[in-house]
Amino acid sequence: MPSYAVTLLSGGLDSTTVAVQALQETGNLSAITFHYGQSHSKEVDCAQEIAGVLGIQHQLLDISFLGQVAWYSALTNPDRFPVPEDRSIDRMGASIPITYVPLRNTIFLSLAAAYLESQVLYALEIDGVSPKEVAALIYMAPNAIDYSGYPDCRPEYFQKMTEALAYGSKLWTEYQIPIQVKTPIIELSKMEIVKLGLRLKAPLELTWSCYQGGAVPCGSCDSCLLRAKGFEEAGVSDPALTRFRDG
């Protein structure tokens, strides 16, 4: 069955690992990266480089207006809401932190679904592909184990969103083709994600996870701390640290 697949590629450890897995599973993959008004473009630059290395079609979508509506976040409004630093792992999951961007995954998922549905509808209605021969897949990299408490990273959220996409799409309403949302690392610890990325030979050395946009990762934000924990527990050094520190 031919698959039409899109993966959301932020340029970080998790999304890069998922992109490589998606590419190996489907062979017909495109990637979307969103410039959503985040405080720096470092991760966007990394995503573009990673997509080039993987040889997949890459769409960089400028939705920077999102920062104007989802302004209550340290990632879109860092001057007003500083990024938390040096928090313990226990504190990270105790409440939803200021690095949460209001409804970000809901918006990302909706846009990715629209992009994918356009591809599949064209295949059905212009190229004449049979509906019985089509799968429509969105790959995302949320994680509900080692994470910062975001509500839109939980399995139940993606279950409900998958249902909403079905009811709201022509693809399901007319052709009974569901838009499947694949979240292959949602139940993995950060250590397990690191090991999976290494096993898949993902270009982890090109990834950027830090909430800050300096020359090197800050090492203090939640994302840096969780990433460091994953590599430490996996018993391997982080290849990106060497790359960025060496320039």
Is the confidence at residue 215, as pLDDT, over 90?
no
The number of folded domains in the chain is 1
Residue 205 lies in domain: 3-245
Instruction: Determine the residue type at 247.
Output: G
Helix axis angle for 13-26 and 42-54, nearest 10°, is 20
Is the confidence at residue 146, as pLDDT, over 70?
no
Is the confidence at residue 166, as pLDDT, over 90?
yes
At 151, which CATH number?
Answer: 3.40.50.620
Is the confidence at residue 152, as pLDDT, over 90?
yes
pLDDT at 209: 92
Mean pLDDT of 77-92: 86
Tell me the C-alpha distance between 117 and 121, whole Å. Answer: 6
Q: Please, which pLDDT band fits residue 39 given cuts at 50, 70 and 90?
A: confident
3-class SS at 100? coil
Of residues 144 and 60, the one with the higher pLDDT is 60
135-139/3-8 β-pairing: parallel
pLDDT at 149: 76
Rounded to the nearest integer, the mean pLDDT of the chain is 92
Q: 119-140 pLDDT, tens per residue?
A: 999 999 999 999 998 999 999 9
Is the confidence at residue 89, as pLDDT, over 90?
no
Mean pLDDT of 100-122: 97
Q: Of 202, 199, 92, 206, which Cα lies nearest the Cα of 153?
A: 92
Q: Sign of the CA dihedral 107, 109, 110, 115? A: positive
- The fraction of the chain above a pLDDT of 70, given in percent, is 96
Q: Please, which pLDDT band fits residue 26 given cuts at 50, 70 and 90?
A: very high
Q: Please, which pLDDT band fits residue 214 given cuts at 50, 70 and 90?
A: confident
Mean pLDDT of 26-50: 90
- The fraction of the chain above a pLDDT of 90, given in percent, is 81
Q: What are the φ/ψ torsions at residue 211 (nearest 5 degrees)? A: -75, -20
Mean pLDDT of 175-180: 97
Q: Please, which pLDDT band fits residue 1 given cuts at 50, 70 and 90?
A: low
Q: Please, which pLDDT band fits residue 3 given cuts at 50, 70 and 90?
A: confident
